[in-house]
């Protein structure tokens, strides 16, 4: 009885050491990456990742996609909307 109580006390004392937040493998794998949420937005997710983590200009995948669509809409009629200016030029 006494040994069991001492063992429980020691176990409780040691759990404070293990109280650090535990991350899943998925959280670790995708840390620092903007995930693709839409079927056709892999490029937007890649650009959002680079802008957010390399240039510290926090943008979302959807924000990049809207910027690309805006750039297409503002493209001169001569090019037929084929030319896509880089999104980073639109943000300043």
> Residue 58 corresponds to which tokens in the numbers above?
């926090």
The span from the CA of 33 to the CA of 26, in Å, is 11
Q: What sign has the CA pseudo-torsion 22, 31, 63, 92?
A: positive
Residue 38 confidence (pLDDT) above 90: no
Q: How confident is the model at residue 15 (pLDDT cuts 50, 70, 90)?
A: low
Span 61-82, pLDDT tens digits: 999 999 888 887 777 654 554 4
Residue 90 confidence (pLDDT) above 70: no
């Amino acid at each position: 009885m006494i040994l069991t109580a001492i063992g429980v006390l020691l176990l409780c004392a040691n759990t404070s050491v293990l109280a650090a937040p535990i991350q899943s493998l998925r959280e670790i794998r995708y840390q620092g990456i903007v995930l693709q949420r839409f079927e056709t937005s892999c490029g937007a997710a890649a650009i959002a990742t680079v802008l957010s983590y390399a240039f510290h200009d926090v943008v979302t995948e959807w924000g990049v996609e809207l910027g690309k669509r805006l750039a297409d809409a503002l493209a001169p009629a001569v090019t037929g909307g084929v030319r896509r200016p880089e999104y980073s030029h639109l943000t300043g």
